[in-house]
Every structure is written in C-alpha cells, then in structure tokens.
Structure 1
C-alpha cells in the first residue's frame, strides 16, 4: 500500500481499512495471548468513545453510532470480531439485529441481552474491559456502560479483568506500513516547516511568531491534513532571558526561532520541533555558539536512543540517558513519548518536563519494538556570542524502534535552518 501523504480521502479509507484487517489478523492474537485475555469487550457511545474504539471502526465511521459494543474473541484460528450494534460495523460480524419498531428502552435491553448471549457462546476464561488507573488510553469504559455490562454478564462478571496491557499493546504497536506512513508524514512536516522558515513566509522586522504559527496551521489545512494541536512558534534573542519574548513578538534578525507542530492523517499523528536562525545583516551563517547548542542537542538524542533498549522501562531509559548526559557535562531534560493513533500515545513515558526523576505509572511500562516515538528533549547551553546567555535548544523528532534499532523518520535536524 502507498505511503504517500497526503492522500485523497477515499484512498485514505482504503489504506486504513487494510491496516485494520492486518492488525486484527496479525497483531491482535499475540497481544491477547500476552495479556491472558480471550474476550475483549470495547464499548463506546456516540461522541463518548473509548479511545480504543475509533482505532477499530471502519474508516467511513467518524464516531460510534448510538451504543457500539465490539467483542473480540480469541479462537484457535485467530480473533473473531463481532459487533453488538444498531448498524453493521465493517468486518465485525453483526451479532444483533434490533427490531425497528421497539422503543429505545427495549432496544437497549435487547442489546445487552445480545452481549450476554455472545459471551455465553464464547465461554471466556478472562474478559478484558478498558479500565486503568495508569493509562487514560486504556480507561475508556464509561461508568454507566461498566455497570450495565457487569449486570448483563451475570455469572460471567467475576471473570472481568482490566485490559490495560492489551489496550496499550494495541495502540502502541505499529505495522511496517504504518511506520512507513509516519516516515512520510514526518517528511511532510519538515517540508512545511522549511517553507515556514523562509522569506516566502517570514519578513524580519514585520512578521510575528504568531503569524508563522497560524501560517503553519493554515498550510496543513490547505494540504488536507489536520493539526492535532495548535502549532506554536517561539523566539529567543540575545539580551532577553528564555521565555521573555512574547508569542506575538515580531521576528527580528539575530533571533533563534523554534516551532512545535503536529499533524494528523491516516489515523496517525506526528510531533515535531525544529529550529532556525534569522541572519543579521552581513552574516552568512548562525553564530558558532548556536551551532554548538544544536550539536549538543543531537548528542543528547544519541544518549536517549542508545538507552532505548527493548525490555527496559521508560524510567530506566530516562535514568540511563540522564546519567550519560551528566557524565558528559550536558545540562538537559528528556520528555519523550510514544506517538501513534494519539499524539501523546499509549506506552511508556521517558520523562516529562516536570518529572526528570521518573514518571510513576506510565514510566514503569516497558519499551517495545515496532513502536514510534517523539524523541523530545532540550539542552541548555551558554552562547559566547550572546554574552554567555544560556540558550534552550529544544528538539523533537519522530523515531521508529524496530528489531533493527532506532531510525529517524525522514531524518533529524543537525543544522540550523537559516532565514
């Protein structure tokens, strides 16, 4: 399947539905075996979806319809997907056909009765439901639906267990085709940022940082992709401490320009930060101190990726990377995270900007292969040309962790873009 982005909507739907088939057939059986769950129940209501639910719906479904109940049963042949829902749900076998003339209350009772009949047929040993105190992505079963489900299950209710591990594995793991698509998506982000950091968009002394941020968002829209958060553009300049230049300040010669942007397409996301320098009159290159700061940031990236050994927890990766940085005299922070169906994706956190000693809960999760990350961090470096002022060089780049190691999606920034 193609990895070109952006794709026309109809082609996107075909790609996404192909990926869903592959994921259910090739990935889900192993995940269910790992978690020891032989029936996974995913429930969501229209506009109140479990975070897992949209990743299992056909691409033409933009939300749940009324109450949608998905049953994924582990069988000797693989996984049998069934839907107890008002309307057919893609490849999920329809396990209930409501009577059109029944009142709403009767249809609701009939739907839960159909769930019970499906469970009776499955005879599951362990029934997984999406409840979790650690991962919001795995905590999507609403209180009302949780109570109704347990009531419908009757004697099966004592076999209900949290599906936290299963939900996280489903959300964090990427097919090779999905990784290829995220590589292309990162390339698109880089091209848009390169255009934003050009005279076509920025006129020093006139254009504001906020103008650039809105230009990036508009450019994504015009290309047919969505942002998953509002782009931000910030400035650092000599003589002004970090954070002292307002967001709506005019871009001036000598400024260090930083952006943080993320796009969404094909049901996947990116998260990227890139840096540029606005040349002063007579300059042909950025100051050596800023160049060195970026190189220090690249070295910090190397320390994190070297520590990303499958089987380590996120907190162990964080500790190893920070120990390596301390040994080399690097002052920096690490706050990297998975990125997939969600921008801040399911899986282990490797630090947070305000939790550099480890992240309870999510940081204790294990790093695994076939995952995509936003390698996000910063370093603080004094710049001689700015009178020894400390510059915060922040970097964020998509990476894939596979059995072959870490690869940078569409390449990483190793030189400052010049404006």
Structure 2
C-alpha cells in the first residue's frame, strides 16, 4: 500500500515537514512521468511559466518546492520536451528544487528575459506555450507586463508563442494515484469535522448558522487544515418557503436566526492539506421533542439526492465535454421525475479547479468555455448538485437539498472519495 493510499488507520493531516517531503516527491514524479505525456498530448515543445513575487501565475505554486511560499523576485521556469523527457530549467537568482539552474551569472537585475532568449535560441522549440487563456482563469496567469517583456526578449521567436491552456488544464487536473489516495483521507477528515460540528456546535435554541460556520473555520484552523473558503451554513424551516435568487430557489431563513428543533442544517466546507483541497456538503435534522428520526419526506429527499448522484456519475465519461455530461444528467433526471440542478466541478490543487465545468448553479443549459472542455481519466471532481421536492410533513412545502461529495475518475471507474452522505445526521432537541 502506498503511504497515502486509502487507509483508515492513517492519521491526517501530516506534520508540515512530512507534507513537504510528500509534495516534493509527488512533484518529481509528475515532472518525470506525467508532464512528458501531457506535453506530447497538447503539442507543446517548451512551456514557460513566469511570475514575480506576490503576483504569481497560479500554476507556479504547483511547480515550486513545497518550502517555497511564493516566487522570489522574478522566477521563470522553462520546461523543455526533448527525446530524453522533460528538461526543467529555472531562470532565477535562487535554486528551485528539482529544476536545473540556468546560468544567470553576474548579470544585472531583470536579466532573466535575456537568459530565456538564449535558451530558446539554443533549444529551437517549434511551439512555445505560455499561460494565456480567455476561458480559464487558472490558465491565464502570465501578467500583461511579463508577457510584454517576454515578447520583446524573444524577438523573431515570439511568433512561436501559443496559448498553453490545454497543457495547463491537463497539468492541474491530472492526479497521481497517491494524490487520489490522499484525497480519500482528506474527504473522510472533512466529513468527520462536519459531524463534530453537528454534535458539538449545534445547540438548539442557542446556536445560529453563523456560530456553526465560525466553529467549523476555527476547528479546521486548529487541525492545521485551513479552509479555502469561509464555511457556509444555512437553515431551512417549515413555514419559511424557498425564495428565488438569481434564477434559483434558495433557503430564506436568515443566517443569524437561532437554530430550532425541526430545522434542516446544511454545511458546505472545504479544507486544504498536502497542496490538495476538498469541497463537501452535509445536512443534519434537528429532532423535535419526542422524535427519534427525521420525517420520512426529508429522508426520501436525501434518497432522491443519492439517486441523482448516481445518475450524474453514470454520465461522467472520458471524452464527453462538461456540457454533454450536464445535458445527459439533466435528461436522466427528467426521465426519473427528479427536480434537480447539477453544478459539479473539478477539484484538486484548487477548490474550483481547472477542467470541465458540469453546469453552474445559475447556468443549467451550458457553461461557455469551461463547459466545452472534455473529461479525462485520472481526475477528481466535487460532485455537486441539488434536488427539490415537496415534503408532506412540512405541509407540502418545497425543500431543497444540496449535496456535494468528492469523486475520482480513473480507468477503474468512478469512486467516491471518503464516504457520501446517505442518512441525515441527527441533532438532539436539547
């Protein structure tokens, strides 16, 4: 078993130094084994990734050693595809991990582009990929100023510059088997933290949704797995119908309302560790005095949500675009009589990661740009969707249930990361 394969006996998160060792080992494997395949697939001979301190290309952090928290001065990374694989070269005043140092010598400051020009002249690549993109922010990290200086430095070779968008997305979305193993553990941890919140932070008649959100954020911080967004907690209550916002029906109970028996409490939480991120939603029911289970209508709503997850997973096939997966999942829902929205997204080194968008909560027809990107193997997604149906015990009031669970897509098929929610968590009335 690999050190970070799914193993319930393994403790996460790892200490920071161990995390750094793991991340640097992953980077070496990605540079040696993965990147040559991706460069061949996308037809890029030389990939240039550049950034200045505190204005980094989003891709830069995925190529730097784990001990680096930002670029230093200007850091230019050159990844050259040759017969021997990919040669990684760093044009920087400082050594950059596994990257070979370019000869900057005693040249004056801001000489990096001169070194890049000499490298290009010697390597003579046909297609030079740079991080510019109209559709993907994560592939559009080359700043205007850096782009201008690069073009000036390359002179006649500048006509070989092409958008590296497909390479950037492939690099960011593709997960090693060990990374998927780590995502299993991190998704389990996320679910455990939310379960602790339902058991500890929800006190009916006292706690508010805002209280629970801050409890979650503090707990993640204390565990050393920082949230990548402010945890979101919302309430639904009998007698308070959904309201339309931005074309969607959403809960209307105020965030500062005190949680009461009979409420549905919904949490949306994501953590960061090992350079990877999770995005998970869980729902609890607050028991009324004398109750031992949630109303049957609410339990059936969760079962409908699980059915919708299965229908969406069945349509997630390599080669299909995000829009095609969305259309197929929505057609399957309609055939099954399920009122649902699908808005799933890639996840990995970024929470809303690079790759095919499978709907958005306010866009259920197609997603321009990102929806046209195809699904690939060895990727991970946050399977995110919502279902709605009337609940008899709430006098036929329509209730919306959001679900979100990590999944991986490998040659073996789709696998849930950690465990998905199949039963409502229960909070005692107090």
TM-score in same-fold range (> 0.5) = yes
The CA deviation at 1:112 is 1.2
SS in 1 for 2:338: coil
- 1:327-366 equivalence runs, <5 A: 327-366=335-374
1:406 aligns with 2:414: yes
After TM superposition, the score normalised by the length of structure 2 is 0.95
Q: Indicate whether 1:139 and 2:126 are aligned.
A: no
Q: Determine the C-alpha separation between the residues in 2 that align with 1:147 and 1:96.
A: 23
Structure 1, unaligned stretches of length 5 or more?
none
Superposed, which structure 2 residues align to 1:6-85 within 5 Å?
6-85=13-92
Partner residue in 2 for 1:249: 257
- Counterpart in the other structure of 2:203: 203
1:208 deviates by 1.1
Q: 1:225 maps to which residue?
A: 225
User: Residue by residue, what CA displacement relative to the aligned partner does 1:156-209 show, whole Å, maximum 9, x if unpaired?
Assistant: 1111110000000000000000001111000000100010011x2221101111
Match of 2:109 in 1: 107
Does structure 1 residue 234 correspond to structure 2 residue 249?
Answer: no
Taking the aligned partners of 1:361 and 1:26, their CA distance within structure 2 comes to 29
> How far did 1:154 drift?
1.4
Q: Deviations over 1:113-152 (max 9, x none)?
A: 1111111121101100000001111000000000100111
Secondary structure at the aligned position of 1:41 is classed as strand
Residues in 2 aligned to 1:319 and 1:352: alpha-carbon distance in whole angstroms: 12
Kindly indicate whether the alpha-carbon contact (under 8 Å) linking 1:126 and 1:159 is maintained by their aligned counterparts in 2.
yes
Once the two structures are superposed, the pairs formed by residues 285-324 of structure 1 within 5 Å of their partners are 285-324=293-332
Counterpart Cα distance in 1 of 2:231 and 2:105: 45
Kept after mapping to 2: 8 A contact 1:208/1:248:
yes
CA distance in 2, matches of 1:277, 1:382: 16
Q: Is the 8 A contact 1:41 1:128 kept in 2?
A: yes
Distance 1:207 1:354 in 2: 30
Indicate the SS of the match to 2:385.
strand
Is structure 2 residue 100 aligned with structure 1 residue 93?
yes
Secondary structure in structure 1 of the residue aligned to 2:175: coil
CA contact (8 A) 1:83 1:96 kept: no
Q: Which residue of structure 1 lines up, in the alignment, with residue 245 of structure 2?
A: none
Offset, 1:98: 4.2
Kindly tell me the number of residue pairs found equivalent between the two proteins.
412
For 1:301 and 1:271, the matched residues in 2 are separated by 15
In the alignment, the residues of structure 1 paired with residue 105 and residue 258 of structure 2 have an alpha-carbon distance, to the nearest angstrom, of 61
CA displacement 1:313-369 (0-9 Å, x = unmatched): 000000000000001111010000000111000000000011100111100000111
The residue matched to 2:190 in structure 1 has which SS? Answer: helix
Q: Displacement, 1:399?
A: 0.3
Cα deviation 1:32-61 (Å, max 9, x = unaligned): 001111100000010101010000000000
In 1, Cα distance between equivalents of 2:388 and 2:271: 27
Quick check: 1:231–1:261 contact (8 Å CA) kept in 2? yes
TM-score, normalisation: structure 1: 0.97
Where structure 2 has 5 or more consecutive residues not aligned to the other structure, the ranges are 5-10, 243-250
Retained in 2: the 8 A contact 1:96–1:111? no
Contact 2:212 2:233 in 1 (8 A): yes
Q: Which residue pairs with 1:157 in the alignment?
A: 158
Q: Supply the distance in 2 between the matched residues of 1:7 and 1:98 (Cα, whole angstroms).
A: 39
The answer to whether the 8 Å contact 2:104/2:115 transfers is no
**Cα shift at 1:69:** 0.3
Aligned partners of 1:83 and 1:178: how far apart in 2?
25
